[in-house]
Amino acid sequence: MQRLSLTQRLHILKALHGCFILTLLCTGIVGLVLFSTIISQPIRNCPILHAIYTVFWLSLGLSILQIILAIIFFIWFLFTFLCPPKSVGSVTNSSQPGVQADQLVYSSDNPFDSCTTAVGVHCGRVYGPSYFSRPRCASDDTLDRSSSICDCCHFRIGWLWFGSIFLGILSVGLILSLILVGNFLSEMDTLFNSEMASTFVEARVSYFSAKSSNNALKCWDIIQKTFQCCGQINYTDWSSYGQRDVQSNVETALPISCYFTDNISVNRHIYTSGCLDLITKSLNLQLTTSRVYLIVTFILLVVTFFVDFGYTLYVAYTTLVENPVMEYDRSNMEGVWQHTPEKTTTRKVSSSAVISDHYHDELESISSSNSSSIMVQNSVYQPHRNS
């Protein structure tokens, strides 16, 4: 089986970056539409439903955060394509008599050049930045003091690192929402029914006592208008209080919200079905839909992120394994880099190093097109003894 080239792996890496950002954006838009529809219902103002609708508000906030992060990551990721580094020439080092060291110099118009990488280890420039794991260089690590180019590395924070932080925040919010949704679903047939019954009794007492309507009565008016129902089980629940009979005075026996129209008339039609069953089914549907959305969103975000992040580390690792950089002796600093017409670079120390033409051409083409956010643009060195 033929192994993928470095260029092919970097194209796959870009596709995985885009897949993660697209997943973040699409799940956020779906959540925004879903929870905006749920909390737009008038019954959200009922005190007895405030706790349940708090979960929907939390999920709506998480969806908005997903959309914002997806837009930020997309703009951040685009800078790696809109502002690629450009080769502006070479620097000649004539510090050693009779030897010249030509080094390519790259320049970029990208203001986020130090932030557009996916992972966060950055090395010194010879043919552009590369990624390794050596400590940050000191002043004596510089191979070419005139151009301050060193064979050393230091950490940088890339956009995938920021993505992992915000994904952790989103995961905590999604898990919390899932726990709350599951808790409310388990209480729908027990605690919720008893709370609705007590609220109805309070609303009925308030209505027949001719006092100003309280929150319970307002809540039941909203429920009856929204679901076109009357009473808890049916419309006779309003007459069971005993002070008035439904048939004795049709204008005042039932709340206005129990009628089809608000016009006072003896022949007005009333809603006969009860509200408890309708509101329970509606909330069960909303909570179940929310739970499915939260589970699917959590799985998609975690899977796409870790596939993207893992493949990014894999590409960085395989690049290092296939393109090793030879260590040099810090006590011997008279070595320089020499650029030859055949696009090979030699380093004159106790043992010289020759760049592989195959990997140099491949990496040089990647450098010119800026085809990856991990920006492996360094030359490749393989040991070669003097003949």
In this predicted model, what pLDDT tens digit does every residue of 324-353 receive, in sequence order?
A: 544 434 444 344 334 344 443 334 333 333
Q: How many whole angstroms separate alpha carbon 100 and alpha carbon 144?
A: 11
Q: Is the pLDDT confidence value at 379 over 90?
A: no
Is the CB of residue 189 less than 8 Å from the CB of residue 195? no
Domain 187-279: CATH architecture, name and number where available: Orthogonal Bundle (1.10)
When pLDDT is averaged across residues 74-78 and rounded to a whole number, the result is 82
> What angle, 0 to 180 degrees and rounded to 10, lies between the N-to-C axes of helices 276-322 and 6-39?
160
Q: Is the pLDDT confidence value at 5 over 60?
A: yes
Mean pLDDT of the chain, nearest integer: 69
Q: How many whole angstroms separate alpha carbon 248 and alpha carbon 143?
A: 103
- Return the higher-pLDDT residue of 328 and 322: 322
Is the CB of residue 334 less than 8 Å from the CB of residue 145? no
Residue 333 to residues 101, 189, 348: CA-CA distances in angstroms? Answer: 14, 80, 10
Q: How many whole angstroms separate alpha carbon 36 and alpha carbon 39?
A: 5
Backbone φ, ψ for residue 211 (5° rounding): -90, 170
The predicted-structure confidence for 170-223, as pLDDT tens digits, reads as follows 999 999 999 999 999 988 878 888 888 888 888 888 887 766 667 888 889 899
- Return the higher-pLDDT residue of 282 and 206: 282
- What pLDDT is attached to residue 212? 62
* Joined tokens for residue 181: 């949704």
- What pLDDT is attached to residue 251? 54
The predicted-structure confidence for 133-168, as pLDDT tens digits, reads as follows 333 444 444 334 344 444 444 444 466 677 788 888
Q: Is the pLDDT confidence value at 63 over 90?
A: yes
- Return the higher-pLDDT residue of 7 and 60: 60
- What pLDDT is attached to residue 287? 94
Is the CB of residue 113 less than 8 Å from the CB of residue 364? no
The owner of tokens 């838009």 is: 29
Q: Is the pLDDT confidence value at 109 over 50?
A: no
Percent of all residues in the chain with a pLDDT value above 70, rounded to a whole number: 55
When pLDDT is averaged across residues 39-56 and rounded to a whole number, the result is 88
Q: Give the best-scoring range by mean pLDDT among 5-14, 45-54, 140-149, 331-340.
A: 45-54
Residue 79 to residues 161, 195, 230, 362, 371: CA-CA distances in angstroms? Answer: 17, 55, 60, 22, 12
- Return the higher-pLDDT residue of 95 and 143: 95
Q: How many whole angstroms separate alpha carbon 7 and alpha carbon 370?
A: 11
User: Domain limits of the chain?
Assistant: 187-279
When pLDDT is averaged across residues 5-33 and rounded to a whole number, the result is 88
- What pLDDT is attached to residue 158? 61
Percent of all residues in the chain with a pLDDT value above 90, rounded to a whole number: 21
- What pLDDT is attached to residue 324? 52
Q: Which of 235, 229, 236 is nearest to 280 (CA)?
A: 229
When pLDDT is averaged across residues 104-128 and rounded to a whole number, the result is 43
